[in-house]
Structure 1
Amino acid sequence: MHVDDAILSRKSVRRFLPEPVSLETVEHLLKVAGRAPSGSNIQPWRVHVVGGRARERLSDAIMAAFDAGTADHRPEYHYYPEHWFEPYLGRRRRCGYGLYESLGIQRDDKQKRLEQMRRNYLFFDAPVGMIVTIDRRLEAGSYMDTGMLIQSILVAARGQGLHTCAQAAFAWYHDIIREQLGLDDNELVLCGIALGHEDPEAPENHFITEREPIEAFTTFHGFV
């Protein structure tokens, strides 16, 4: 697959088929993604891959905590701003409303919205899950580096005919993940990634988010 096609066909898949993904395939795409750049080549990331019973145990533990209430669970970093403002608020709302509309969930149906949120912790039924961490002693540049690794994983997966969903939702349950996977104390949980074969019949997988035209985010200097 041409790299342009891999990038353009990448999307957040939220329902996967039960078809397995081999360990060899996962190892291959991680070797490819591991070529992501990082400042001074420090490679500040770690990836914990879960499948089979390990994935089930992790999902079960997180969903039990989710069902008990989320008040005691917070990520160790700020993903979103405390106070939203435009144009980001509008983009976020269009994304959320569009997803729920594809699923037939009304905006005021809190129960069904919670049920959909809960599916994050099943890795949306994907056979393979990943937890991406960063060494907490590092600084902002290493977050950018790890973001490039994550994007490389998503694109490399397309090269293998697979789909993914990057899931910041896992950061809320870092304490459970730490216990389940035996993370080092210096590992800060950034996100999860669901990996597998897309369910083409799932309506939520037909929801494609819009993108701004390059004129909206690019300024050219020195071009005639």
Structure 2
Amino acid sequence: MSVAELLKKRISVRAFSDAPVTAQQVRDLLETARWSPSGGNLQPWKVIAVSGAEKLAVERLAVEALLKNPEGEAGEHLIYPQALAEPYRSRRYKIGEELYGLMGIPREDKAARMRALARNYQFFGAPVGLFFVIDRAMGHGQWAHMGMFMQSLALAAEEQGLSTCMQEAWAMVRESLHRHFELPEHELLYCGMALGYADRSAAVNSLRSERAPVEEFAVLRGFE
């Protein structure tokens, strides 16, 4: 499958089957993703993969942390800016409504929406969770390099018949996870990623979010 095909095929999967993913499969994906580019070859990423009892432990940790602090622990690194301008606000609203629509959850059913949101902290049923860690001293450039690494990993997974969902929702329990993993003070947990085999029968996995046309975000200058 070509890179172009993988990019168009990859989606954020929000319902996984219970088919297992082995440690060797995870190592193979990381072996591929480690060739991602980074400025100065800093390779500013660290990955923590969890499965089995350890995955259950972080899922319980998330529930307990959010019960104590529903506002979350994102700190200064917010998931979204506090006041999203257009067109970003409308894009976020639209994808949310499409997701809840596929799950059959009306806007007024707040409890059902909260239960759906809580699935983030179960990795949507995926057998493996990945966490991405970066040194606090790194700047915006290195955060971008981390994103390139994550994209490489997601595409490598897609090539192997696996699916992923990049999950910034885990930032809401960032400090609790920092303590759980006994990370040094200079390291920051950025986000998580669910990894497994998609449940193809789940309606929510039929969503392919729209993308703006090239003309909307690109300017070509100096061409004949």
With the length of structure 2 as denominator, give the TM-score of the two structures: 0.96
The answer to whether the 8 A contact 1:129-1:194 is kept is: yes
CA distance in 2 between counterparts of 1:35 and 1:78 reads 28
Give the AA of the match of 1:17.
S
Are 1:52 and 2:90 counterparts? no
Aligned twin of 1:112: 112
Aligned twin of 1:135: 135
SS in 1 for 2:188: strand
CA distance in 2 between counterparts of 1:26 and 1:10 reads 18
Aligned twin of 1:99: 99
Deviation at 1:67, TM superposition (A): 3.6
**Counterparts in 2 of 1:15-34, with a 5 A limit?**
15-34=15-34
Moved more, 190-199 or 60-69: 60-69
Deviation at 1:73, TM superposition (A): 2.8
Give the AA of the match of 2:129.
G
Aligned twin of 1:3: 3
The answer to whether the 8 A contact 2:14-2:165 is kept is: yes
The answer to whether the 8 A contact 2:79-2:171 is kept is: no
The answer to whether the 8 A contact 1:14-1:165 is kept is: yes
Structure 2: unaligned runs, 5 residues or longer: none
After the TM superposition, which parts of structure 1 deviate over 2 Å for at least 4 consecutive aligned residues?
Answer: 64-69, 71-76
Aligned twin of 1:81: 81
- Which string of whole-angstrom CA distances, capped at 9 and with x for unpartnered residues, describes residues 20-64 of structure 1? 011111111111111111110011111100011000111011122
Please provide the CA RMSD for this pair.
Answer: 1.2
CA distance in 1 between counterparts of 2:167 and 2:108 reads 23
Give the AA of the match of 2:130.
M
Structure 1: unaligned runs, 5 residues or longer: none
**Counterparts in 2 of 1:125-204, with a 5 A limit?**
125-204=125-204
Deviation at 1:179, TM superposition (A): 2.2
The answer to whether the 8 A contact 1:48-1:131 is kept is: yes
Aligned twin of 1:222: 222
Deviation at 1:65, TM superposition (A): 2.4
SS in 2 for 1:189: strand
SS in 2 for 1:150: helix
Identical-pair percentage: 38
SS in 2 for 1:36: coil
Are 1:70 and 2:70 counterparts? yes
CA distance in 1 between counterparts of 2:148 and 2:47 reads 13
Deviation at 1:180, TM superposition (A): 2.0
CA distance in 2 between counterparts of 1:75 and 1:15 reads 28
Give the AA of the match of 2:59.
S
Deviation at 1:216, TM superposition (A): 0.9
SS in 1 for 2:142: helix
Deviation at 1:69, TM superposition (A): 4.4
With the length of structure 1 as denominator, give the TM-score of the two structures: 0.96
